[in-house]
Structure 1
Amino acid sequence: MFKPQIKVPATYMRGGTSKGVFFNLTDLPKPAQVAGEARDNLLLRVIGSPDPYAKQTDGMGGATSSTSKTVILSKSEQADHDVDYLFGQVAIDKPFVDWSGNCGNLTSAVGAFAISNGLVDKSRVPNNGVAIVRVWQANIKKSILVHVPITNGEVQETGDFELDGVTFAAAEVKLEFIDPADGDGALFPTGNVVDDLKVPGVGTLKATMINAGIPTVFINAADIGYTGTELQDDINNDVAALEKLETIRAYGAVKMGLITDINEAQARQHTPKVAFVAAPLDYTASSGKVIEAANINLLVRAMSMGKLHHAMMGTAAVAIGTAAAIEGTLVNIAAGGGALSEVNFGHPSGTLKVGAEAKNSAGNWLVTKASMSRSARVLMEGVARVPE
């Protein structure tokens, strides 16, 4: 006898250039309220993974790394925080949920969900103005401030803020990533702002490996035969290119101390990211919009879950802003060098501005804050149905 589907309260939200299924922890079935196999199996089935066809037709996923995401929120157990935010990156073709990092884009939707679902004390939400939601990012154990616009006591989602990579305008949501060095590790795990990264079959590449927002390996576009103006099809239809970039990512992960053997990289797809940078050039974005070199500081292209991202991951944008603020990194050099507190970079969908505050203390670089603006809105709310 086949059992009926279960109903799990859920909200489908866009945050930045990503979208995912959001859950209140207490709404999950009891076995899924704790980390483990039951939780992973539930989220995999909600999203529609693993799917050998790589379409996620029988689930809520959108068959890209940007749209195969899940979020679990709960009242914060941390002092001086409102909500605990746990992010699960769901693999598309494998039975695997990666809990190793944050999603910066979906962070912009966390504040709105938390307010609308009663996870933020009413005294912290003005009738009109901006509510500052204090988010504890449970994957990387960091604080994020989400500035949520409020009108007549409700989250304001509509507006005229335009975000490249998102078709329609919405209300602006400002994000502040406090002390964004990922986890407990050093900002530069190797101790250097630039390293020689030996990659068998590829060569020795100059690399900046940074733990900010999300662990990221930055390399120069020219060193791997690119200009930095590439769009998704230029990379994602090239099997050899994807293999090369994944190999670079794996050896970067070892060098950063995230894994001990490159074979472990297969089970850690979400982190680190690998991105390539270049000085500004004119190019046409995926929307057809012409991006002029004079209007940007540098070009960045980033890989996510084995594919070139259609825009830029929010966490990688934090890494870009942080690295740009530190003299001598490949990102800083591509942006023209010197002391940079804010950069506007070109990505496949257009441009994004990100800022960071960095200081050198006794030879160690510290970043106190990174900031950027995104937007978010609820797409659908109700229940997700899941075969038991």
Structure 2
Amino acid sequence: MGLRGRWYRGGTSKCWLFDSKDVALHAPTREEIPALLSAAFGAADARQLDGVGGGTSTTSKAAVIWATPDADADLDYLFAQVGIGDPTVELGSNCGNCATAIALFAVQTGIVAAEDGMTKVRMRHITSGAVLSGTVPTPGGHIPKSGLARVPGSNAAGVPVNLSFHGPWGQNTGALLPTGNAVDQLQVNGRTLRATMVDAGAPAVLIPAEEAGVDLSSMADNLSGSLPTLIAARASAGLAMGLRNPEDPPQNAVPKVGVVAPAGDYIAADGTTISADSHDVRVRMLSMLAPHPAIGLTSAVAVALAASVQSSVVADAAGQAPLPGTGAPRMLRVGTPAGVIITEIISDEKGMVSEVALHRAARHIATADIDVAQAAELSA
């Protein structure tokens, strides 16, 4: 069966974007969408050889998009993290890099009409209800096909997109701090680890790197010795945050899990040296079951919000006080394996974070009719 899709690079991820009308031809209900995407990506094979998946967590992503011109947002989208060597498709998380691509997609496909100057696309993530906006340059109402913007983690140029997460906290659990604590003690494989658990951008658990046995003076290694601890920490945090019940199996996508350390000279994934004065905090995150090559944008939002919480493990590592109640933006520079990314944290007059903004880039790669293998063919 044929499934029409559009392939985009958004930031440091690649995402297949699907119009809901095309998806409905093969998956009339939302419950049927995971099986369709799993087959289209060839998810059951670790190489994703018989599908359009890229074989890594950052290139095995999809989103289904519904235009909603009469609603508060211009469109709704369902983000899917597609399994690799596993037919499971997880719908519980969000992806800012894919949202960056969706904003460009919306302008290029006419979901949102291009304005003279800048065109703002408002997007609602269906699973969490989070609202994001992506602003795309459209001088003279011209729809951009290419651009010169670059982001850490990719040398490729793309159309600049300013991505903002609005009211980016409590979307999954109802609170920035689901446990009510800035720091909790997690029981992980017989050890006790300090952790800050936040629901911001995406649910995330952040642990001091030293306690997790991770050395962030280099971000070029595969963390093989630390993966069991971090994966177990995710499972423990999922229970503590109310994201799953004890009888439910742990998820691989949520909560996000990462380690943090104070600023310091470190070796990036490409072998370059990143100086301590270029960033405020060092961070490494997992993406599914492997180290993220950069940092997911929802994870960057979680780190930024955690830095605004007094005495959190991130605030302690970054050496930052809570946001002042002036409404003025504040920058948090995050050192990642791909280099330094900058988050802009905007608070209201009460000091509550109202928006987190990031500068990203996106590019349309291809439009294709995917020949999706039937389930019987996949098992043959």
Residues 223-272 of structure 1, C-alpha deviations (whole Å, 9 max, x = no match): 1122324435331xx2x42221111110011111111227520xx21110
Is contact 1:326–1:358 with CA below 8 Å preserved after alignment?
no
Helix, strand or coil for the counterpart of 1:32?
coil
Further displaced range: 59-68 or 182-191:
182-191
1:253 equivalenced with 2:245 (yes/no):
no
1:284 equivalenced with 2:267 (yes/no):
yes
- Aligned partners of 2:373, 2:189: CA distance in 1, in Å? 45
> What are the ranges of 5 or more consecutive residues in structure 1 without an aligned counterpart?
1-5
Give the aligned partner of residue 91 of structure 1: 83
Is contact 1:187–1:366 with CA below 8 Å preserved after alignment?
no
Q: Could you tell me which of 219, 234, 241 is aligned with 2:226?
A: 241
Q: Counterparts in 2 of 1:18-167, with a 5 A limit? A: 18-37=13-32, 39-51=33-45, 54-76=46-68, 79-120=71-112, 122=113, 125-126=114-115, 128-167=116-155
- Aligned partners of 2:77, 2:217: CA distance in 1, in Å? 34
- Aligned partners of 1:273, 1:284: CA distance in 2, in Å? 23
Residues 208-231 of structure 1, C-alpha deviations (whole Å, 9 max, x = no match): 000000000000001112232443
Give the aligned partner of residue 172 of structure 2: 183
Tell me how far 1:369 sits from its aligned partner.
Answer: 1.1
- Aligned partners of 2:373, 2:85: CA distance in 1, in Å? 19
> What TM-score does the superposition give when structure 1 sets the normalisation length?
0.89
Q: Counterparts in 2 of 1:335-374, with a 5 A limit? A: 335-339=318-322, 341-358=330-347, 366-374=352-360
Is contact 1:78–1:136 with CA below 8 Å preserved after alignment?
no
Change (3 A) 1:290 1:33: farther
Is contact 2:96–2:298 with CA below 8 Å preserved after alignment?
yes
1:381 equivalenced with 2:367 (yes/no):
yes
Identity rate, percent = 35
Tell me how far 1:206 sits from its aligned partner.
Answer: 1.0
- Aligned partners of 1:97, 1:366: CA distance in 2, in Å? 34
Tell me how far 1:171 sits from its aligned partner.
Answer: 2.8
Letter in 1 for 2:212: I
Change (3 A) 1:289 1:152: farther
> What TM-score does the superposition give when structure 2 sets the normalisation length?
0.91
Give the aligned partner of residue 281 of structure 2: 298
Helix, strand or coil for the counterpart of 1:170?
strand
Tell me how far 1:150 sits from its aligned partner.
Answer: 1.4
Is contact 1:45–1:386 with CA below 8 Å preserved after alignment?
yes
The number of residue pairs the alignment matches comes to: 367
Is contact 1:50–1:95 with CA below 8 Å preserved after alignment?
yes
Tell me how far 1:77 sits from its aligned partner.
Answer: 7.1
> What are the ranges of 5 or more consecutive residues in structure 2 without an aligned counterpart?
324-329, 375-380
Residues 298-353 of structure 1, C-alpha deviations (whole Å, 9 max, x = no match): 10000110111000001001111111122221111111121453211111111100
Give the aligned partner of residue 258 of structure 2: 275
